Copies of this chain bind each other. A is one copy, B any other.
């Protein structure tokens, strides 16, 4: 069951659920597209005969074992109480509404939370870093796309106990802006363009800092996420730069490999990762290098914003929550060149 399935994130969830070996069926709801063929809105599902449903929330909660919410920010808060009440066995929200547990931090980035008690019950679903938190979870907040890339870059530093105030430069493709045309996604203006936005104030910084501070145990730990829009459709490329308080002992690659040992979707590469190598996949590629004196670290992460940064990570979280193989339905997705 995917609620709000007419957008890019909803379409990506459906694409992945449709090929998931343990998913026997799916329902897609959309108020705006109710009655239309799913395949007419999402070309990747062109073979499907399904149509968008206009179910009530309670009906949605009862319609499947798992409910994914792919709604605009703020809408989830309005319907989650009813869905929880109706007894949805596993609810995964892909909006920002339940990502930040601390009411004060939530307020700083999004305003006062309409349902703070409920927010505290959600598990933040950063599957590649903290899979064990997701096992058995019933309320999951899927991380934001930029936030996923940022945390995958910060985690190796936290894991190794490195003190730093990193700068993170991230560039996203146009699909991150959603399915509705906007001036910033108008092809003549976007096609060969690159520009920063949300300067010093991107909302994903809230969830990034939440993890960074929890991981480091320092309530004032800082990191700066700088977001940019680039002239491609899919993917986020992120470069982290850090001046380390203590020089790095040993190899930067080993640092990253240790942080992600055994994680099936994170690959540490021997050279700077290319964005196109993850397009369409649930993979994250990570590469790190340090200066000879060990004082400076540069670390790159590439992900697909709609898969690892949205639908794929949500399904990975579902797999973990339900005790399935973590990789079920999430491999064999890549296409290259594309």
Contacts and interface: CB of A to CB of B under 8 A. Distances in A.
Contacts of A171: 171, 194, 230
Given A11-B336, A191-B231, A191-B232, 10 more contacts: A46-B267, A169-B169, A174-B186, A175-B337, A185-B187, A191-B192, A192-B233, A195-B273, A196-B239, A199-B289
Contacts of A88: none
Contact of A337 (B8, B181, B226, B291): B8
Contacts of A224: 241, 296, 298
A102 interface: no
A8 B182 CA distance: 17
B273 A169 contact: no
Interface in A183-207: 183, 185-197, 199-200
Interface string A319-334: 0000000000001111
B189 A337 contact: yes
A253 to B, nearest CB: 12
What is the total number of copies of this protein in its complex?
Answer: 4
B296 A200 contact: yes
B42 A279 contact: no
Give the 3 A-B CB pairs with smallest separation, nearest first: A169-B169, A181-B181, A44-B334
A331 B277 contact: no
Given A192-B275, A196-B239, A224-B241, A335 B280 contact: yes
Contacts of A296: 200, 224
Contact of A334 (B43, B226, B300): B43
Contacts of A174: 186-188, 191
B181 A276 contact: no
Contact of A231 (B11, B231, B300): B231
B237 A192 contact: no
A95 interface: no
Interface of A: 8, 11, 15, 18-19, 42-47, 165, 167, 169, 171, 173-175, 177, 179-183, 185-197, 199-200, 224, 226, 228, 230-235, 237, 239, 241, 243, 267, 272-277, 279-280, 283, 287, 289-291, 296, 298, 300, 302, 331-338
A303 to B, nearest CB: 12
A233 B188 contact: yes
A42 to B, nearest CB: 6
Contacts of A165: 243
A234 to B, nearest CB: 6
Contacts of A199: 272, 287, 289, 298, 300
Contact of A183 (B173, B181, B189, B302): B181
Contact of A237 (B195, B276, B290): B195
Contact of A338 (B19, B279, B290, B300): B279
20 contacts: A43-B276, A44-B335, A169-B169, A169-B226, A174-B186, A174-B191, A187-B191, A188-B233, A192-B232, A192-B275, A195-B237, A195-B272, A195-B275, A195-B300, A200-B298, A224-B298, A234-B338, A279-B335, A335-B335, A335-B338
A193 B15 contact: no
